[in-house]
Chains A and B, each alone.
Chain A
Amino acid sequence: MPTTAIEASGLTKWFGADEIKTYAVRDFSFEADFGEMLFVVGPSGSGKTTLLSMISGILRPNSGTVKVENVEIWSLSTNEIADFRLRKIGFVFQDYPLFPRLTTVENVAIPLILQGRSWHDALDEGLKNLETVGLKDRADLPPVKLSGGEQQRVAIARAIVSRPDILILDEPTASLDGDTGRNIVAFVRNNILNEKRCIIIVTHDDRIFCFADRILRMADGRITSIEQAKAHEK
């Protein structure tokens, strides 16, 4: 397995045209390695979400390339990109969008079901992942019966159930109180991160910066700095 998980080069994305053309990301290049927890931080409107979308195969850049494990993802067909996301990337969205009409374990099993695994296999695997995040006893409850922190952990279980190489967390602490947020990120750092996985967290919550290996700061769609962080020193 290569040590570099993601290699983005010259990424540029703009929205609109002519007078209303707005650059979200400009000529952005960076690398993220396996075994690394990379934080992308910056103020609102700095282009963090756009960057995240481009490197995860969701939003096509206007120019530039994104290589994941040496595969240029934007040269793939639409269906291949969808399969790439399904197999290689785990997402933890800001509001966790969990299906309220499915049980917790069914929500976790969704990526495996989308991969074509049988219902029961997927649920068995989902249960194991719920155990990983400490929510096995909540498996049959609907997500609405869980607290915000528990829902976040369900979203993490869903993100890792298909053993993705790259995990992307979008503002994981935005909907949580300070302690719960810290606990979640600490949990991810201690239990989910390993040398075969790269974790990218988009956040503007400076209380969790201490968990990062590197912090990539953005403003107006550009990198303003890349810092080695405390966690790296550990």
Chain B
Amino acid sequence: MNGLNKMKWSNLAMAPKFGILRIAYELLVNDRAKFVALLVGITFAVFLMVEMTSMFSGIMSRASATIINIGARVWVMDPSVQTVANTIPLPDYTLDEVRSIPGVKYAVPLYSGGALLKLHSGDYQAVNIVGLDDTSLVGRPQLVSGNIQEIFAENAFIAVEDSEFRKLENPKIGTDFELNDHRGVIVGIAHVASSGLFGVPTLYTTYNRALQYIPNTRFTISYLLVEPKSPQDVPNIKKQVAAAGYLALTQEDFMQKITKFYMYQTGMGTNMLLMTAISFIVGLSISGQTFYTFILENLEKFGALKAIGAKSHELVMMILFQATFVSIIGYGLGVGLCALSIWLAKIHLPDYAAIIIYRNLWIALGMVVIIAGISSYAGVRKVLKVEPFDIFRS
């Protein structure tokens, strides 16, 4: 063939054609009804998916509140412990045993348990009591009022100012209460990173006072908090603790264990999975059907474009661009709507447990990509099949 012509035509094939994306954009957004239907479908699906996974994350975060707030690197516990609230007391000698493991910088006991307070008004209120090691106060919360030294004073407790604080009748320093016929006094108000899951307020005191005020079983240590000399010592500590018949978990391991418990042994994971799947199917149904109809309505025009000289990959690019564009907008709207609804919910319901974390956003994005992929797949197939010859026969 004529070399010059061939070169011209080849160069034409290589030329960047951003204009066709503009055509795709105009075709999409100018069809208002379908564009809105596509956006609603994807936004709704993303909203539900992010909402569900955020609720789960929020619940998991609260279920691990004690671990997050105490902040110890390694936790030693009975192997049967499933959640941080479900403590199985350890014998006192395990403290010395763990302290003697090479690589342990220090190890201290922690008390964690429930109790019933009689408030100043005479009402009763269930609370979670955290007893910190008397000598080191490892895991102490950040005080917003009061002095940490006051925790050693007689009957001293520190109240956590979180969403449950009001259940203690908004105590101030000096507010007293009764705990198993013992007088307790609030000596400090603290903030913590995460509120608990079960809707009860938290009080901090010393380990020995916790044992003194709350009736206990033969063994009293809820957990041992271990600080390794270096991160490399953690595997050996885990191994030695396991050899002694107990379980040592890093903070992350412990949180993951709790998450697995709620996910696989409470039905919560199944429910979340179901809701996420339903959101996905709803989104896919609305978006897929609308997008397919959109392609079908423009099929003759796509055929004309092919006849004029558009290549198949350019038409595929147009469809993928449309699917990507509507997905990104829908995704943004869905996430925004979810963030707004969580914000509004937290204003009215301080206990509302939902947090949007990056993992949830990635999961929703992955789902949206699949929805967009499936929706455009049918359209792409249809467009690839249309023959320019058909346009003459129409």
> Which residues from A are CB-within-8-Å of B305?
110, 114
**B106 located at the interface, meaning its Cβ lies under 8 Å from any Cβ of chain A in the complex:** no
**A187 located at the interface, meaning its Cβ lies under 8 Å from any Cβ of chain B in the complex:** no
CA distance A53 to B9 in the complex (A): 20
B305 to chain A, nearest CB (A): 7
**A146 located at the interface, meaning its Cβ lies under 8 Å from any Cβ of chain B in the complex:** no
Contact indicator A119/B22 (Cβ below 8 Å) = yes
**B27 located at the interface, meaning its Cβ lies under 8 Å from any Cβ of chain A in the complex:** yes
B33 to chain A, nearest CB (A): 11
Q: Given that A80-B9, A83-B9, A87-B12 are contacting pairs, would A101 and B27 also be in contact in the complex, using a CB cutoff of 8 Å?
A: yes
Q: Given that A113-B17, A114-B20 are contacting pairs, would A86 and B392 also be in contact in the complex, using a CB cutoff of 8 Å?
A: no
Chain A interface, number of residues (Cβ within 8 angstroms) = 44
Contact indicator A97/B9 (Cβ below 8 Å) = no
Contact indicator A58/B388 (Cβ below 8 Å) = yes
Q: Given that A71-B1, A91-B307 are contacting pairs, would A119 and B392 also be in contact in the complex, using a CB cutoff of 8 Å?
A: no
CA distance A91 to B26 in the complex (A): 23
Q: Given that A80-B9, A85-B308 are contacting pairs, would A99 and B298 also be in contact in the complex, using a CB cutoff of 8 Å?
A: yes
CA distance A186 to B33 in the complex (A): 40
**B345 located at the interface, meaning its Cβ lies under 8 Å from any Cβ of chain A in the complex:** no
Contact indicator A102/B2 (Cβ below 8 Å) = no
Contact indicator B298/A114 (Cβ below 8 Å) = no
**A95 located at the interface, meaning its Cβ lies under 8 Å from any Cβ of chain B in the complex:** yes
Contact indicator A79/B13 (Cβ below 8 Å) = yes
Closest to A96 in B: B304
A153 to chain B, nearest CB (A): 17
B322 to chain A, nearest CB (A): 12
Contact indicator B12/A116 (Cβ below 8 Å) = yes
**A70 located at the interface, meaning its Cβ lies under 8 Å from any Cβ of chain B in the complex:** yes
CA distance A26 to B300 in the complex (A): 29
**A28 located at the interface, meaning its Cβ lies under 8 Å from any Cβ of chain B in the complex:** no
B22 to chain A, nearest CB (A): 5
> Which residues from B are CB-within-8-Å of A70?
2
Mark B1-15 against chain A: 1 for CB-CB distance below 8 A, else 0: 110011011101101
If over half of B's interface residues share one DSSP class (helix, strand or loop), that class is named, otherwise mixed; here it is: helix
Closest to A70 in B: B2
Contact indicator A110/B1 (Cβ below 8 Å) = no
Contact indicator A83/B308 (Cβ below 8 Å) = no
From 96 to 131 in chain A, residues with beta carbon under 8 angstroms from any chain B beta carbon are: 97-99, 101-102, 106, 110-119, 122
CA distance A159 to B201 in the complex (A): 76
CA distance A84 to B310 in the complex (A): 11
**A72 located at the interface, meaning its Cβ lies under 8 Å from any Cβ of chain B in the complex:** yes
CA distance A189 to B103 in the complex (A): 96
**B362 located at the interface, meaning its Cβ lies under 8 Å from any Cβ of chain A in the complex:** no
Closest to B314 in A: A114
CA distance A52 to B310 in the complex (A): 18
Contact indicator B13/A58 (Cβ below 8 Å) = no
Contact indicator B394/A82 (Cβ below 8 Å) = no
Contact indicator B309/A83 (Cβ below 8 Å) = yes
**B389 located at the interface, meaning its Cβ lies under 8 Å from any Cβ of chain A in the complex:** yes
Contact indicator B300/A97 (Cβ below 8 Å) = yes
Contact indicator B310/A101 (Cβ below 8 Å) = no
Q: Given that A82-B311, A95-B394 are contacting pairs, would A113 and B22 also be in contact in the complex, using a CB cutoff of 8 Å?
A: yes
Contact indicator A49/B393 (Cβ below 8 Å) = yes
Closest to B20 in A: A113
Closest to A68 in B: B5
Q: Given that A76-B1, A80-B10, A83-B12 are contacting pairs, would A114 and B308 also be in contact in the complex, using a CB cutoff of 8 Å?
A: yes
Mark B139-157 against chain A: 1 for CB-CB distance below 8 A, else 0: 0000000000000000000
The residue that A101 contacts in the complex, of B8, B16, B31, with Cβ under 8 A, is B31
B270 to chain A, nearest CB (A): 44
B195 to chain A, nearest CB (A): 51
* Closest CB pairs A-B (n = 7): A86-B309, A116-B15, A113-B19, A101-B30, A83-B9, A97-B304, A85-B309
Name 27 interchain pairs, CB-CB below 8 A, sorted by A. A53-B392, A71-B5, A76-B9, A80-B10, A80-B13, A85-B308, A86-B309, A89-B309, A91-B308, A97-B300, A97-B301, A97-B394, A99-B301, A101-B26, A102-B26, A102-B27, A102-B30, A110-B308, A113-B19, A114-B310, A115-B12, A115-B17, A116-B15, A117-B19, A119-B22, A122-B19, A170-B392
A residues near B (Cβ < 8 Å) are: 49, 52-53, 56, 58-59, 69-72, 75-76, 78-80, 82-87, 89, 91, 93-95, 97-99, 101-102, 106, 110-119, 122, 170
With A84-B9, A93-B391, A102-B26 given, name 6 new contacts (CB 8 A): A71-B1, A76-B6, A82-B13, A101-B27, A102-B27, A118-B19
